Amino acid sequence: MYPVIKRICDFVVAFLALAVLFVPLLIIVIALRFTGEGEVFYRQSRIGYRNQPFGIWKFATMLKNSPNMGTGSLTVRGDPRVTSVGRVLRATKINELPQLINVLTGEMSFVGPRPQMQVDFDIYPAHVRDAIYSVPPGVTGIGSIVFRDEELLLSQPGIDPRAFYEDHIAPYKGELEMWYIRRKSLWTDLRLVFLTAWVVFFPQSTVAYRAFPDLPPRPNWLHTRD
């Protein structure tokens, strides 16, 4: 019954959230329309349920040509491609709110493996690519929580962001998402929602490792603190 109950909860909560947040979302739409390049929404192709592509909705926070500039699909700290309003939206994760539409339509769930662009999905080891999207992708998940401050990791002096992502972040993130596939339940999902709210305010917290002691061991290069 887990998938059925989860889908019902996703639909009801997404519908209510869109209704409650209508006015704040409208204010953000107006702010984006009259700043930067005037773009409001950004729809990007991501890999989703059963490895099928879908269009993910986000508020536009970067220049339109960003995928062809700088670090491509990766964003680093102080990235010049991010607009002034976009910096605020990204810091608070408000830029992800339009994904309520994806949840409403069933393309996403509130909790699940984070959907990746094809270029980043291809980096995962084969066993991860084969299983990671046996469930719908999520607005949040264990990968999003552990890597809440991924931009900081990619901004370390003397590293190549793309090489660091491919060699270190992607393999570990894949193992985290596989952990979720094995542990998925309503109770796990509820705790992940709580942890998501926690790391918005404390982005370098290690609380996930205390909440879930059986997570894949934290690598030495993952410098987080309470």
Q: What does the DSSP 8-state code read for residue 82?
A: B
Number of helical H runs and strand E runs in the chain:
12, 4
Q: So what's the pLDDT on residue 223?
A: 63
Separation of alpha carbons 142 and 33, rounded Å: 33
Evaluate if residue 226 carries a pLDDT over 80.
Answer: no
Contact 52, 60 (CB under 8 A): no
Q: Please, which pLDDT band fits residue 133 given cuts at 50, 70 and 90? A: very high
Please say whether the dihedral angle defined by the alpha carbons of residues 149, 154, 155 and 156, taken in this order, is positive or negative. Answer: positive
Residue 213's closest CA among 185, 168, 190, 183? 183
pLDDT digits (tens, 9 = 90+) for 80-89: 888 888 888 8
pLDDT digits (tens, 9 = 90+) for 87-99: 888 888 888 899 9
pLDDT digits (tens, 9 = 90+) for 176-225: 999 999 999 999 999 999 999 998 888 888 899 999 999 999 998 886 44
Give per-residue pLDDT as tens, 183-196.
999 999 999 999 99
Rounded CA separation 51/206 (Å): 30
How far is residue 175's CA from residue 158's CA, in Å, rounded to a whole number?
26
Cα 225 to the chain's mean position, in Å?
Answer: 21
Mean pLDDT across the chain: 90
- Identity of the residue numbered 32: L
Mean pLDDT value across residues 111-139: 95
Percent of the chain with pLDDT over 90: 64
> What pLDDT does 100 receive?
96
Q: In 3D, which of 142, 143, 57, 61 has the Cα closest to residue 108?
A: 57
What integer is the mean pLDDT of 18-24?
A: 94
Give the predicted TM-score (pTM) of the model: 0.85
Alpha-helical (H) ranges within the chain are 2-20, 22-33, 84-92, 99-105, 118-121, 126-131, 142-146, 150-153, 161-164, 170-183, 186-201, 207-211
